[in-house]
Structure 1
Amino acid sequence: MQLPAHEAGEHYGLLDDLEYGTALWLRWDEADVELVVLPDCPAVGPDPDREGCCLFAGHAEQHTWQETHPVE
């Protein structure tokens, strides 16, 4: 799983799944670093797989099943 590449703004890294529906993320920008608990993204992919998005609710850009670039 990978968030879309970007240079400015907030950056996120998944640290651990917590109780159902939440995860612990590291969030940072040019000035601050913090641990945050964020709810899971509720979106699910199209049929037939109905794969869930592996990011947090309100994330920017596409969902994880929509990734078009291979992860290096």
Structure 2
Amino acid sequence: MQCQLSAHDDAEHYGLLSDAGPYGTALWLRWSGSTEAGPATLPDCPVASSGRDPEGCCLFAGHPERHTWQDAREEVAYTD
């Protein structure tokens, strides 16, 4: 499993297991180092981008570092 957080120096890592939990939560695998891992049910991050078509963050509330929409590459439109 790969950590879903943006590049970070924190010892804790999180990978999404399932978003089919109770409304507003998801099941995450939390681990630190190479030996300790366990499930964690965490509330969804409530932050969304601004603008005409806001995009919600796909991580959990209180996550460190950047929101998922801040890490997304900007789409470039090419015209002929």
Give the TM-score normalised by the residue count of structure 1: 0.83
Counterpart position of 1:55: 59
Counterpart position of 1:20: 23
Q: Secondary structure at the match of 1:14?
A: strand
Percent identity over paired residues? 59
Partner letter of residue 68 of structure 2?
T
What RMSD over aligned residues (CA atoms) do the two structures have, in Å?
A: 1.6
Picking from 54, 65, 69, the partner of 2:69 is 65
Q: Secondary structure at the match of 2:48?
A: coil
| Partner Cα separation in structure 2 for residue 48 and residue 55 of structure 1 | 21
Pick closer, same or farther for the CA change 1:44–1:3 going to 2, 3 Å. same
Q: Secondary structure at the match of 2:26?
A: strand
Q: Secondary structure at the match of 1:34?
A: strand
Q: Which runs of 5+ in 1 are unaligned?
A: none
Give the TM-score normalised by the residue count of structure 2: 0.75
Q: Secondary structure at the match of 1:28?
A: strand
Query: How far apart are residue 58 of structure 1 and its match?
Result: 0.5
Query: How far apart are residue 7 of structure 1 and its match?
Result: 4.9
Partner letter of residue 4 of structure 1?
S
